[in-house]
Every structure is written in structure tokens, then in C-alpha cells.
Structure 1
Amino acid sequence: MSMGLGCRDRAATRSTSAGGSAGGPNVPRVSVTGQDIRDAVLGLVPTALALTVASWLLIGLDLGNWWVGPAVAVAAAAGDGLTRPVLRLLARWYGAVAALVLGVLTQVLIVGLTLLSIPQVRLDGWDTVLGAFTVVGVVSVVVQWVLGVNDSSYLVADLLRQARRRARRQGAAPPKAVPGLVVVQIDGLSHPLLRHGITSGVLPTLSRWVRSGSHDATSWWARVPSTTPASQAALLHGNNDGIPAFRWYDRALGRLVVANRPADAESIEKRVSDGHGLLSGGGVSISNMFSGDAATALMVMSRAGRRGGLGPGSDYLRFFARPFILVRSLVLTVGEIVKELYQGRQQRMRGIEPRIHRRGYYPLLRGLTNVLLRDLNVALVAEHMMRGAPVIFVDFVDYDEIAHHAGVARPESLDALAGVDRVLGTLEQIAAAAPRGYRFVVLSDHGQSQGPTFRQLTGRTLEEVVRSHLDGPRTATITATGDVEGWGPVNALLADLLGTQGPLGFFARRRSSGAPAGMLVGPPDTAPNGDLVVVGSGNLGLIWFPRLPAPVTLEDLRERYPMLIPGLLGEPGIGFLVAESSRGPLAIGPRGVHVLRDGTVQGEDPLAPFGPRAAGDLLRVAGFDNAADLWVHSTLDPSTDEVHAFEELVGCHGGLGGGQNDAVLVHPRDWPVDDDLFDDGVLYGADRVHQQLVRWLRAAGLR
């Protein structure tokens, strides 16, 4: 399906991207254009052609006549329109999982029954129908590539056609409502990489916005911990106190808290929310860790642990029940997996360094995040833009997930960025046709830094190094240094399954084995009765000693484990430690100490390589009630800006150094950042970005 826009629509799109609302009181009556006819025809041609090809390839399918393919395509489109009201009602009752199951089942039934009802068609069985679906998906991808169709715009073609038909029926359009706001988070994008993408042509949509003067691109400082849960809590709720890392040990609970587990995310949101988050008052939160107090939350981790927690099932029907849309996404997902296997092999063959092992579950995870989840996000955002939602906040994790495994600026990572940039172009098209105009803000939650992992550098994990410097017998250890971040969307889906009734929910509950806090899939992160807890959060390591009474001070550690501090500081790749003391938190390096509370430095300042904001960031997190007993931070290579993750990830974030703290804010030029929010010329912290977003909403009449 082609989603191209006519000249009139392109002009409206550019106006919308600059902040104006498309349309107005003097808009002339819209007539049927060649573009409308092209959209309608190209909406059916790929399906008809694909069915014809399927009849050539599948022994059990013979269409008989040339017109059968187009007839089935028309029937599928008509069946979608007739069954949508019933499916919407059922999905509203039973949730997103029901939308998936019912949508796929309905598509198969419509196509199968249509083929069976045509006498000229020979069909051997329903397995042939499923084979035809697969062929349709493959051929649709090829046809749309030949036609130059935006890889996301096929999802919203029917919305654009409906908007044009509505405009023709209504004639002169009334003034649009106050323009809404769409906030797009590109997870993990650093400001230096954004500038490279704008100048190199990798990001043509963002480049057009900046070059045309409609938007400004600035940076903001993602404080330690530079992770998604900490940043999103502040972006959406204005508060991220008590979030020391992506996952951490909670003494009261006696276990790890993992932010992308539904029950833990819900607990975190209850603590940071005051009920007046960024999306309160009718906003929509899509694929985020927290809701922002939105009225509608779709694929939001903090809401996923309850029945129907993924949001109204009817909202997912556009993606799951439209003829062949899900099939196409699944085909592209398989293609993405194959591409990952090839690109990972190319890294090994070419000897690219640093690199990590890219097999196991990761190719599947890349396919899900870079295709299926992206397409689903686009469909959900488009649906709510056409409903006129005042504020929408959506997170695209494509780039972040690939950069973790491939590298920050490697070709596959830049390709993922380009895909999100194309999504912005698709959303512009929707904004031009929506019942209200929309303005766009693009931001990131943090950047990423690159480097060989700590294990690659030393041959040992952080837990093994810590254990080697402790005296006494080996005891149980809770270790969390595996990659857990990318499993969030999968856990959200499974949590929704656990909330359903009937056989599906029963099966999901059996498979989860009663895991606590929604810990359903991904690396195991808990162990009972641990005497030592070691957690990796990018190039920031966190250590707890649960058997010691809190707070654990430097003096306690020296008395109990005299070789621990000097042993860790003697390891390659460890730049400094942070521990509580009688003088407050100290940053301790191999040749000097920095007293965080008063800034006193004895010897060489261990924080000097990390810039002037390092001390303030570390003092803040060291003061949390759930702060680590001992913080371990990697070195920073001054020649390459590389750091060393304590997880097996070549691209990382969580601590200091490199681009991980240099996050992005792209905003309309006539919405400037207020001077009072800057700290020595820097927009310091996600809570300041939240304040600015709220001010923009109030000024725009959206709050």
C-alpha cells in the first residue's frame, strides 16, 4: 500500500512540523485527486499480486482466473470493515491479547472462506491458506520496496484515505482545535550522534526540521544513573529520587528491584507520581516504562501487571486485524533476524573492535523491537492522533537495543535511527490529516557510550573480581550483570497474559513458575539469602552486603574486608569507587580522594576525567535510602572516549563518560527553553526537561 501525499498534503505536513495546524477556516472544498485514486488502487494491488504469486508457488492453491486475486483482496478489505465493530467490542472486553488472537483468526477466516466460496479456486486445505498468508507478506514487502513506500506509512494508509473522504464530505473545514503535542523518545540517542545524523543525511526528517528553522536541537544532561527508568520517571512525573540504577537491591524486600518488571515498575510509579504527571488530563502513554498519569496507557510497563494492563484491546485492532498488516510485519521481523545474523558475522569476519557475542536470544529480540514493536507503536500513535488526543508520549527502543550489541555508531545502529526518522515523516502525514494539528518534540532519555566490556578487559566478571578480594568462605551471591533491558516489552505482554482468565491465562501462569514482581523472562536476577549482591548498570557497578547493618561505611568495609578497596582499585578498567564515610560520600581513586560533600580533593582527583558535573551526580545518588554500599565505576579512555560496561554490552549507559549523559531535545523554535532552567548553560537533569514540557503545554492551552 502506498502512503504518498499530494502536494496540498505535503504543504500541510511541513506547516504542521513547524508547529502550525494544517487547515483553517478558508480551506477550499477538497475534490477527488489523482493521489486519492492512487492510494485506493495501491491499497489493493500488492495484496492481489501477492495472492497471484502465491497460487504460482503453492501446489495446493490454484486461483483459476486472473480476477480472483483482486476479488479476494476486495473481499478481505470489505470483511475487515464488516467485522471491525464486533472485534472492537470483543477486544474491549478481553484486552490486547484478544485483539491479537481475534485479529489474526479473522484475517485467516476471511481469506480462506473467500477462496472456498469461488468455484474456480482449488484449495487443498487451511494449511495452504496459512502458506498463502506467508507469501502475501513476502511479496507485499517487495512490492512496497519497489514502489518506494515508507516502511511505516502502510500502517496508516486507511486513516489518511478516511480523513480525505471526510474532508470531501464536509467541504470547507472548520478551524482545527488547539494543536496537540506528540513527544517521540528515541531511546539512547546522544546529541553528538544526532548532529552527525543531521549532517550526514542519516536523519532527513530531523534534518529538514532543523535546517528549515521550524525546530531547534539542543542537549540536556542525563544525570547518574543515565538509564531509562530514572530519566523516564523524571520526564513523565518530574521526580526520579530513589532510582539508583536500572535494577538495585532493596533491603526491605530482600531481593532485586528490576524496573522493567511490571510489578516493580508499578511500585516505582506509585512512589514518584503525584497524580499530575506530564500526560494527566487526557494524555496517551505508549510503550513507556511509566504512565505519566495518562488516561490511556498502551504497552506501559507500570500498568502491564494487571488485567487489561496493556490498554484497551480495541486500540490494537488496526495493527492485528487489518488484512495482512501483521503478516507483513512478521515477515520483516524474520528478515531483520536474518540481517542481524549476517551483520554479526560481518563484524567477526572484518575484525571490528570492540564487539561482543551477538547470537543467542538477541537476533529474535532485535527483530521484535526493530520491526514488530516499532510498527505497533506507529499504529497506536496514529490511532490516537486521529482521535485528537491532546498529548501523546511514545518511546522507540530500536536504536538503543541495537547499539547495545552492535556499537553506538555502527551501520546497523544508524540504520535503526534512520527507521525512526522515517516514522517521524509518517507521523507528519497523520498530523496533516488529523482533526487537530500537532506539534512535535523529539527527545532521548540518555545517550550511549562504547567500549570493550570489563570482562573482555580483565577476563573476569565484576562479581568474580569482588569475590576474589573478600576474605572468608564463599557465600550465596545475587548477581545481575546480564542484559535485561530489552526484555521489557516481552514481560509486558506476558504480564497481560497472566491477568487474563481462561486457558491462556492459566498456561501463562504455569510457565511463569510464580516468579516474583513480574520477572517472567530474561536473565535470572534473584537468589535467596545472598550475602553479596553485585549489579551492573552500564559502566556503573553497584555492590551490597545484605548481612551488614546499614549504612555500610568505608570504615566498616576496611575492617571487615581489608583487601576489597585496594584490590578493586588495582584492577584494570576500574576508575574509582564511591563509599559512605564519616566525612560523607567519598570518590576514591588509585591516587586520590574526592570528598563529594564539600569538594575537597586529596591527591589526584579521580573524577577529573568525567567533567564538572560528576561530583554532584554521585553525591545525589549516594544519598538515596537504597544507595549501594559500594559503587564501582569504570575508567574513561581519553583517546577514544570509551568506557567499560560491567554487563556484556559494547554500547552502554548508566554512569559517566562518553556520550551517555549527553541527551537530546529537539523542539519547535518558537517554543524556546526558558533561561531559568539552565545550570551554567546546561539543561541539567530530566526533571528540568519535564518542567519545560509542562510549561510548553500550559502556554499552548493543553494543560
Structure 2
Amino acid sequence: MADAGVSLATTTVGLAAAIAVVSGVRTSSPLAVLLTAVVVAVGALVVAPLLRPVARFGGAGAALLSGIGAQLAVAWAALAYVPGMHVESGWSVVQVLVLTGLVMAAGRWLWAGPGNGYVVDGVVRRARRAASAAGRPADDPDRPAGLLVVQLDGVAAPVLEQAMEAGLAPTMQRWVVDGSHRLEPWWARLPATTPASQAGLLYGDSSTIPAFRWWDRELGRLVVANHPADAAAIEAGLDGRDGLLADGGVAVSTMFSGDAPTGFLVMSRTGRRRGLGPGQGYLRFFTSPFVLVRALTVTVGEMAKELYQARRQREHGVHPRVSRGGWYVPLRALTNVLLRDLITSIVAEALARGVPTVFVDLVDYDEVAHHAGPTRPEALRALEGLDGVLGTLERVLAWAPRRYRVVVLSDHGQSLGATYEQVEGRSLLDTVRELMAEPDAPGVTSAGGEDFGPLTMLLTRLVGPPRRGGAVAGPDRQAVTSASSAGPPEVVVTGSGNLGLVWFPRHGARLTLEDLQELYPGLVAGLAGRPGVGVVVVDTRDRGLVAVGEAGVRLLEPVRAGSSALVDGTDPVLGLGPRAAEDLARAGRLPCTGDLMVVSAVTASGHVHAFEGQVGSHGGLGGAQSWPFLLHPVEWEVDEADRTDVAGRRVLVGAELVHAHLVRWARSAGVRR
């Protein structure tokens, strides 16, 4: 009741302020404004069920359009027919909605600080009423079990620990201090990218994913993991695995479905009909009074904040840094506000319905850290916002029909550093072509399209024909188009953070070191000697995979090499971090990996050099990118036999083992069969 009173009060204040400003709306008494706020709130509750058939058959797009239409209709009716109110036009109604949302967003920020708790206010009230009707108290311990897994994309374990100490992650810190949860790192194997780690987390298998993007010789084109058609093809290869979300789970904002019967904003399903998920799941967000308007208002504010923060970096001479203009400004706002609020609403609805397992990926921190740096103030503030989402969902958990255990984890970390192009003065593709002695060789490069994933997903669903894979936005689109225009290029170079892969597609199979020495005699040694390069991995005819550095060579598969010495000269993997040799050997045998696999140089402080335009990156080795975290209930123990010694710590190695524990925990709690 108190929540409803606060919500009504803030709505009334917002309406009063908007009516005072908009010339096309007048009122004769404060009581009329209060009554208008009541009508708007009740009208939304009445209209939402009537729109369910529209959303069920029309999907997310129909839910959006009908929800906005319902908001306008309810607001117009309230302003036109409540005694003491007068409105002149529909445009005046739109102005009132926008200004009310702006006032309410500003008021919440001044009163309670940043947060999106308003998104779940209605869900919490409904869940509380349902619990009361069932005679179930808050936090009832006798409820059946449930599992909520929240992925904080790109957050390294040491960064989360730093945020906790700085008071920027109070929700997670409270769980650890109170003793309900345990925080520990795990090791993300090469490639330390979202598609590989998420395939491992959801299916227990990442063996078909060599990077974020790669050349497929059989298909004769570039594969990009966050393109809907490619994500669907990758997931098809994972069929038959033990999907984490089988048995009635829900996937929200993920790359793959994890065998969930229901998915919202799932990339691998976006090319299908209603690929954004059941339209009913969006109705609460789109029809709630001022929720969508407030989200849009704060989205505009996020754009202004990004412009200010980017300018601040330039004026203060912060280094390393990259350009933060262009498409990134609206993309950050879309991801960090509008989509985050929508995702929070969808997850809250699933929890209130009692879905047995929910897996959601929140990408806010990862997006900001790529452009600002992993430990820069704006990145840590983004992490603070994600911790706020956890606090928001806690309000729903108390009244949900299941007693949810919450696991929070990340898929990888990020490492800081100047880009390869900033160090070398040219791209990796241009470096390779020069060392081939063919500077004009037809080539394709692809990097930097990760930010466009959410936009690609929405465009594909709205305008892209599913049979052709849908629409694609961002730099990767141009690379794919170039690669398929007139036969295979002579050389393809892709960057996944500081992991670079190089192919020579006009040759039907992977080239060995001996082949490359005959074709391009100065290529491998010249590439390994570049200041921005740490190691080059290449296959050989007789000795298996080798890692080539500026002053030495290391055999990565000594069993195949027989009696040969393990290292000749200076070991090139020294300085790349723990498990470098093991990770390079595994990654070098993944299908579709490059003829050459390049990892950038790693400085003594753990800085790396991304082969794309990112000051914070992941995908290769070095720094904190290989150290994601796992925050799990203390009663769910990690099997000691599954741990491995890494840099003096006993940790799980690989997302596959994290998946195995999630499934084991879910079954022990009765969430999974």
C-alpha cells in the first residue's frame, strides 16, 4: 500500500509540473490533477489485459505499438474527461506524458539516487497481492526452489572486488558480508569472448567457437557470432547438449537460448518469427504509465552524459583512450537505459510468474568499458547501475512464488591498453599485407561490431527477412559484404580484442609454417617481431603447433614433436599470463581458427593492444580479461576435484565447468529434473 501511495504521489507531482508548463492543458483544481493520476494508473491496469491477444499474435512490435497507443489513449481520456481538466490537442497529451516522465525521473534521482526500481513497482504490488491471497508471507522458506542466473558481461573478478570496496556494488557486497554468498574467480580460456563463454555456460561446450568472428572455409565467408543467422547456426551445432535452461527456463538478452522454451531478445532466435519472445512479456513495460516515457527520457540523458564523459577524458589528457563519438553515443544510451529497463521488466515478470530458471545477460558495463577503460569512473558507475538492478530484482524475489537462489557471474573480464593501431600506426591487416610483400593484396578485415548487437537484433526482427539472416548493423556488415562480393579475398584478418586471426582463403586448407615460408618468407618472423605483437601461433608439418616470438620459439604440443626441445631461445609465452601455453594449444586446434593466431604484446602492468578500436578489450591473453567471477550461494559448494591451480589459486578453468556446477546445483535444489 505504501508503494502504491508513493507511486501515486510522484505521478501527481509530475502531472502537476507538466500541466503547469504545457499551454494546451489547463486545470481548475489540485484535486483534478490527483484524480487524473488515479485514472491514468487504473486505466493502464484495465487496458493491459485487453491488449494481450494483440501482443500474443503480433509479437513484440505489436506490444510496443499497442502499449504506446494505450498510454496515449488513457492519458487523453483522463485529461479530457476528468472534471476540472481541459486538453486542446493530442500533441498536448504527448507533451504532458514526456514532461511528467522527465519530472518523475529527476525526482527519483534526487530522492533515491540512480536506479530503475520504478520499472518493477507494478510487478511487486501484483506479486504481493498474489502472495497475500495465497496466505504466503514474504520470503516464505517453504516455497519451491527456483534459480536466477545474472551475467554481468565483461566484469573481471578484481574489478568487482574494487567496486565493492568503493561502495559501488552494495547489493553484492551485502550478500558476501552477510554470508549468503561466496565470491570467487574462475578462468576463462582463450578465446575470452562472450559467444565462447556463454556457449560454455549455457551448453557446456565452446569447442566450435574460435573467436568473436572468424572465416569459415566451407561457407566461404566471415562468421560473426552476434549476427542472428550465425548465432542460430552456432547454436544448432550445440543441439543435444545439456542446456541449462531446459525444463521450463527463460533466457533474456542472451546470445544463445540454452534450450529455454521461452526466450526474450535472444540473438540465435531473432531471425525466427516472434524471435524477440512472446509479445505478452513486453506489455507491462509498454503499458505502464510513464515507465517507457521515463526510460526514453533517461536514455536521452545518458547520451548527454556520454558526451560529457568523453570530453572530460580528452580535456584531462587521459591515456590510453579511443574515440567515443558517432554511433557509440546512441548505442550506449540504448543499451544502458532503455534495454536495461526493458530487460529488468521482463525478468521481473518471469520471476513473478514462478519460472523455474531464468538466465539474463546485462551488457552495460562491457559496452562502457570497451570505450572508456575497465576501471575508469564511467565504467565503474555502469557496474553500480547493474548492482542496482540486482537490488531492484530483490524486491520481486521476496514475493515470488518460488524461493529463488541467485547466482551472479561474468563471462570474462577486460584488460586496459592502447590499441594495436595506436602502437603500430597501422592496422593488423596492413601489417600482414606489408610483410607478405603484397601491400595491395585483396583483403578483408573485421572488428568493432560487438556494440551493434542489440541494434542488429532489433533490426533483424523488424525489417530483415529471416530466410536471409536478417539485417545487420555495424562494421561487420561491410566486412561480410566485401568478403562475398567477388570470390574469396587473398587475406582475411579479424580482431577479437587482442586476439587476431589471419586466414589465406584462396588455399583450401590451413597453411603450415612451411607453406607460409614458401609463399611469404618474411611474414611469420616479421609479424612476431612487431612491437605490438606478443606471439604468433602457427601449425607445422612435423612438430605440431608452435608459438613464435621475437626471440624464440616454443612447442605447444611436445608429444607430437618427439624429442625436440620445448623452447628454442626465449620462451615467447612468458609474460602472457598463467596457462598461456595450455590455452594457446587448445585454441590453436579449434575448428576454423586462423592460419595464424596472433596475441598482442602484454606489458608488465598487464596492458594489452586490441586489434580493434577498444581501450578495454577481451578475447586474448593478458591482464584481467581471463579472470571472470562467480558469486554463488554458500550452500552450493564448488567441487574441489574440479579446481585447477592457476597463479597460486585453486579455481574452475573454463565455462564448461561453471555450467556443470550450475546444472548440478539446480538439480540438487529440485529446479531441474
State the TM-score bracket (shorter-chain normalisation): over 0.9
CA-CA distance at 1:476 after TM superposition: 2.3
1:678 aligned to which of 639, 643, 647: 643
Query: What amino acid is aligned across from residue 54 of structure 1 in structure 2?
Result: A
**Could you say what secondary structure the match of 2:251 adopts?**
strand
CA-CA distance at 1:572 after TM superposition: 1.6
Q: Distance in 1 between matches of 2:653 and 2:71?
A: 50
Query: Which residue matches 1:131?
Result: 95
1:227 aligned to which of 193, 197, 212: 193
Q: Distance in 2 between matches of 1:161 and 1:172?
A: 14
CA-to-partner distance for each residue in 1:533-558, whole Å, 9 max, x for gaps?
A: 01011001111000123121111111
CA-to-partner distance for each residue in 1:403-434, whole Å, 9 max, x for gaps?
A: 00001111110001011111111111111111
1:656 aligned to which of 616, 621, 646: 621
Residues 120-129 or 445-454, more deviating: 120-129
CA-CA distance at 1:135 after TM superposition: 0.4
> Structure 2, unaligned stretches of length 5 or more?
560-565
CA-to-partner distance for each residue in 1:94-113, whole Å, 9 max, x for gaps?
A: 11111111111110111112
Query: What amino acid is aligned across from residue 422 of structure 2 in structure 1?
Result: Q
1:625 aligned to which of 576, 579, 591: 591
Query: Which residue matches 1:17?
Result: none
**Is the CA contact 1:449–1:651 (under 8 Å) kept in the aligned structure 2?**
yes
**Is the CA contact 2:217–2:508 (under 8 Å) kept in the aligned structure 1?**
no
Give the alignment's TM-score, normalised by structure 1.
0.90
Is 1:595 the counterpart of 2:559? The answer is no
Q: Distance in 2 between matches of 1:284 and 1:170?
A: 25
Is 1:521 the counterpart of 2:473? The answer is yes
Query: What amino acid is aligned across from residue 442 of structure 1 in structure 2?
Result: V
Residues 664-703 of structure 1 aligned to structure 2 (within 5 Å): 664-680=629-645, 681-703=650-672
**Is the CA contact 1:176–1:435 (under 8 Å) kept in the aligned structure 2?**
no
2:36 aligned to which of 64, 69, 72: 72
CA-to-partner distance for each residue in 1:317-376, whole Å, 9 max, x for gaps?
A: 111111110000000110011000000000000001111110001111111111111111
CA-CA distance at 1:270 after TM superposition: 0.7
Query: Which residue matches 1:578?
Result: 537
Query: Which residue matches 1:492?
Result: 457
CA-CA distance at 1:472 after TM superposition: 4.2
Query: Which residue matches 2:409?
Result: 443
CA-CA distance at 1:154 after TM superposition: 1.0
Q: Distance in 1 between matches of 2:363 and 2:407?
A: 17
CA-CA distance at 1:438 after TM superposition: 0.8
Q: Distance in 2 between matches of 1:355 and 1:371?
A: 24
Residues 196-595 of structure 1 aligned to structure 2 (within 5 Å): 196-274=162-240, 276-472=242-438, 474-481=440-447, 483-498=448-463, 517-523=469-475, 524-526=478-480, 527=482, 528=485, 529=487, 530-582=489-541, 583-595=543-555
Residues 275 and 687 (structure 1 numbering): CA distance in 2 closer, same or farther, change over 3 Å? Answer: closer
Q: Distance in 1 between matches of 2:99 and 2:379?
A: 29
Give the alignment's TM-score, normalised by structure 2.
0.94
**Could you say what secondary structure the match of 2:479 adopts?**
coil
CA-to-partner distance for each residue in 1:191-223, whole Å, 9 max, x for gaps?
A: 111111222211111111111111111111100
**Could you say what secondary structure the match of 1:67 adopts?**
helix
Query: Which residue matches 2:581?
Result: 615
CA-CA distance at 1:392 after TM superposition: 0.6
**Is the CA contact 1:237–1:274 (under 8 Å) kept in the aligned structure 2?**
no
CA-to-partner distance for each residue in 1:453-508, whole Å, 9 max, x for gaps?
A: 01111111111111111234723211102x1112111111122214xxxxxxxxx6
Residues 532 and 462 (structure 1 numbering): CA distance in 2 closer, same or farther, change over 3 Å? Answer: same
Q: Distance in 2 between matches of 1:175 and 1:365?
A: 42
**Could you say what secondary structure the match of 2:237 adopts?**
helix
Q: Distance in 1 between matches of 2:609 and 2:136?
A: 60
Q: Distance in 1 between matches of 2:536 and 2:462?
A: 42
**Is the CA contact 2:525–2:548 (under 8 Å) kept in the aligned structure 1?**
no
**Is the CA contact 1:150–1:426 (under 8 Å) kept in the aligned structure 2?**
no
**Could you say what secondary structure the match of 2:510 adopts?**
coil
Residues 126 and 674 (structure 1 numbering): CA distance in 2 closer, same or farther, change over 3 Å? Answer: same
Query: Which residue matches 1:18?
Result: none
Q: Distance in 2 between matches of 1:326 and 1:690?
A: 35
Q: Distance in 2 between matches of 1:175 and 1:346?
A: 49
**Is the CA contact 1:288–1:394 (under 8 Å) kept in the aligned structure 2?**
yes
Q: Distance in 1 between matches of 2:133 and 2:595?
A: 67
Residues 149 and 573 (structure 1 numbering): CA distance in 2 closer, same or farther, change over 3 Å? Answer: closer
**Could you say what secondary structure the match of 1:433 adopts?**
coil
CA-CA distance at 1:168 after TM superposition: 3.8
Query: Which residue matches 2:609?
Result: 644
Q: Distance in 2 between matches of 1:593 and 1:696?
A: 44
Query: Which residue matches 2:56?
Result: 92
Residues 655 and 490 (structure 1 numbering): CA distance in 2 closer, same or farther, change over 3 Å? Answer: same
Q: Distance in 1 between matches of 2:218 and 2:468?
A: 15
Is 1:115 the counterpart of 2:91? The answer is no
Query: Which residue matches 2:562?
Result: none
Residues 58-67 or 274-283, more deviating: 58-67
**Is the CA contact 1:241–1:272 (under 8 Å) kept in the aligned structure 2?**
no
CA-to-partner distance for each residue in 1:145-194, whole Å, 9 max, x for gaps?
A: 23327622111112222233334444465874322110010000101111
Q: Distance in 1 between matches of 2:45 and 2:400?
A: 20
Residues 150 and 278 (structure 1 numbering): CA distance in 2 closer, same or farther, change over 3 Å? Answer: same
Query: What amino acid is aligned across from residue 665 of structure 2 in structure 1?
Result: W
Q: Distance in 2 between matches of 1:163 and 1:454?
A: 52
Query: What amino acid is aligned across from residue 57 of structure 1 in structure 2?
Result: V
CA-to-partner distance for each residue in 1:562-615, whole Å, 9 max, x for gaps?
A: 121222123221111011112111110010111110181111111011234111
CA-to-partner distance for each residue in 1:13-45, whole Å, 9 max, x for gaps?
A: xxxxxxxxxxxxxxxxxxxxxxx2x21211112
Query: Which residue matches 2:563?
Result: none
**Is the CA contact 1:385–1:430 (under 8 Å) kept in the aligned structure 2?**
yes
Q: Distance in 2 between matches of 1:477 and 1:515?
A: 28
**Is the CA contact 2:269–2:275 (under 8 Å) kept in the aligned structure 1?**
yes
Is 1:182 the counterpart of 2:141? The answer is no
**Could you say what secondary structure the match of 1:221 adopts?**
coil
Query: What amino acid is aligned across from residue 40 of structure 1 in structure 2?
Result: A
Residues 602-611 or 656-665, more deviating: 602-611
Q: Distance in 2 between matches of 1:538 and 1:666?
A: 25
**Could you say what secondary structure the match of 1:272 adopts?**
coil
Q: What is the aligned-residue identity percentage?
A: 48
**Is the CA contact 2:198–2:255 (under 8 Å) kept in the aligned structure 1?**
yes
**Is the CA contact 2:156–2:627 (under 8 Å) kept in the aligned structure 1?**
yes
Residues 119 and 390 (structure 1 numbering): CA distance in 2 closer, same or farther, change over 3 Å? Answer: closer
* Structure 1 consecutive aligned stretches of length 4 or more whose deviation exceeds 4 Å: 172-175
